[in-house]
């Protein structure tokens, strides 16, 4: 009987300790951004910074790049804006020549924009978590991929509290 109890205790411990959690990136205040299959957090090198910063006039907005997530077909940049608001970011125009194709949002909690040109699909999703902003910018060359992975519902569902 003691062996059975010992066996069950060890089995339960192993099951509890080896259960796999969803991979995610911790942002702040127990808010995290869920990673999908095939995505990995990569080092922010000078090339990634250059790509991210190329979309902004540095004097207009301050969105430090916090994490870069890479897949075979796209990049996701996660920034933590400061000294700004959802309203200001909503009104901001990217520096690239892109056609805005969709917008949804309110002036205080979130906004979602999509842009496109011949070469790339850009999605921006900004969300306010208790007066802390998160700015997600995705870059893909596939409209179909962008529409499925980076629609407003999919991006919203990637944030975990």
Q: What is the DSSP string of 29-94?
A: TTEEEEPPTT-EEE---HHHHHHHHTTS-TTT----EEEEEE-SSEEEEEE---S--HHHHHH---
Mean pLDDT, residues 52-67 = 84
- Going by C-alpha positions, the residue among 113, 36, 127, 122 that lies closest to residue 79 is 127
User: Does position 2 have pLDDT exceeding 60, yes or no?
Assistant: no
Indicate the CATH number for domain 22-160. Answer: 3.40.1000
Domain limits of the chain? 22-160
- pLDDT tens digits along 8-41: 345 444 444 444 456 888 888 888 999 999 999 9
Laid out side by side, the sheet with 40-42 consists of 40-42, 65-70, 74-79, 132-140, 121-129, 110-116, 99-105
């Amino acid at each position: 009987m003691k062996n059975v109890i010992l066996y069950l205790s060890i089995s339960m411990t192993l099951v509890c300790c080896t259960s796999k959690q969803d991979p995610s990136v911790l942002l702040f205040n127990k808010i995290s951004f869920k990673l999908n299959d095939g995505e990995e957090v990569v080092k922010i090198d000078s090339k990634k910074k250059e790509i991210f910063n190329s979309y902004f006039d540095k004097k207009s907005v301050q969105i430090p790049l916090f994490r870069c997530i890479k897949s075979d077909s796209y990049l996701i940049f996660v920034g933590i804006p400061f000294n700004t608001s959802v309203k200001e970011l909503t009104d901001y125009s990217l520096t690239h020549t892109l056609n805005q194709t969709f917008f949804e949002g309110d002036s205080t909690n979130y906004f979602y924009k999509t842009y496109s040109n011949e070469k790339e699909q850009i999605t921006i999703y900004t969300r306010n978590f208790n007066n802390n902003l998160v700015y997600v910018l995705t870059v893909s060359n596939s409209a179909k991929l962008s529409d499925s992975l980076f629609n407003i519902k999919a991006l919203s569902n990637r944030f975990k509290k």
